[in-house]
A and B are shown apart, each in its own frame.
Chain A
Amino acid sequence: AQKITQTQPGMFVQEKEAVTLDCTYDTSDPSYGLFWYKQPSSGEMIFLIYQGSYDQQNATEGRYSLNFQKARKSANLVISASQLGDSAMYFCAMREDNYGQNFVFGPGTRLSVLP
Chain B
Amino acid sequence: DVKVTQSSRYLVKRTGEKVFLECVQDMDHENMFWYRQDPGLGLRLIYFSYDVKMKEKGDIPEGYSVSREKKERFSLILESASTNQTSMYLCASSQGRRRQETQYFGPGTRLLVL
Contact = CB atoms under 8 A, between A and B. Distances in A.
A43 interface: yes
Contacts of B43: 91, 93, 103, 105
Nearest to A33: B99
Band of interface residues on A: 20 to 34
A102 B99 contact: no
A26 interface: no
A44 B94 contact: no
Contacts of A57: none
A22 to B, nearest CB: 14
Nearest to B92: A45
28 contacts: A4-B42, A6-B42, A35-B102, A37-B105, A43-B9, A43-B88, A43-B90, A43-B110, A44-B106, A45-B92, A45-B105, A47-B102, A50-B100, A52-B99, A91-B42, A93-B43, A95-B99, A100-B50, A101-B31, A101-B48, A101-B50, A102-B33, A102-B45, A103-B43, A103-B103, A105-B35, A105-B42, A108-B42
